[in-house]
Amino acid sequence: MTWRRVLTLGLAALFVQTASAQKITTEFDQGVDFTKYKTFAIRNGQLKSPSPALNSELTKKKIEAALDRALTAKGLTRTTGPSDLNVFFTLGSLRRLDTETFPAGWRGLGTRVVRVSNTEGNLVIDLRDPSTRSLVWRGIATEETSTPAKVAEKLDDMVKKAIAKYPPKK
């Protein structure tokens, strides 16, 4: 009886870790000297989510404030006029149903299938060089949680972890 509890708790812990893990990916132009960038301006943010928890002016302001803090911590200065880097971002979300299979039944010989509702939020941060009008760095933060409201709670962390990979190491 005890091994079934251990197995169930282990599977539950594994599921919780995978359900709340953030994934950060970045890409950048290898020919760019990132040391020349000293200022930034947040130019445009788009919210593409069917959820009211993510599709509001307050969410947009929260992302902009997080970007401001993260880029300032990297030594860049925010400006409202001409800048060395223009910052654009897009936040989107997708709701989906996943199935999870667990051992069940007498002595764990059967299986139990559970449908789990998840929300995947994606925050794409683009840094563009205005002199060449080209994309020089992109960070993509993906958060998978149970509800869109929980994605909204993680926005600061998503921005912080993505910008932590700027400037890129060649």
Instruction: Give domain limits for the chain.
Output: 2-163
Q: Mean pLDDT of all residues in the chain?
A: 86
Q: Taking 60 as the threshold, does the pLDDT of residue 14 lie above it?
A: no
Q: How many Å apart are CA 45 and CA 36, to the nearest integer?
A: 24
- Read off the tokens for 138: 């992109």
When pLDDT is cut at 50, 70 and 90, the band that residue 16 belongs to is: very low
Are the CB atoms for 164 and 69 separated by under 8 Å?
no
**pLDDT at residue 15 tops 50:** no
Average pLDDT, integer, range 144-165 = 92
Backbone angles phi, psi at 84, to 5 degrees: -80, -30
Residue 97, pLDDT > 50, answer yes
CA distance 127 to 87: 5
- Rounded Cα distance, 95 and 37, in Å: 37
Query: 71 to each of 82, 105, 135, how far by Cα in Å?
Result: 16, 53, 17
DSSP string, 72-94: HHTT-EE-SSS-SEEEEEEEEEE
CATH T-level fold of 2-163: Double Stranded RNA Binding Domain (3.30.160)
Residue 47 burial (CB count, 10 A): 17
Q: Please compute, for residue 72, the number of CA atoms within 13 A of its CA located in the half-sphere on the CB side.
A: 9
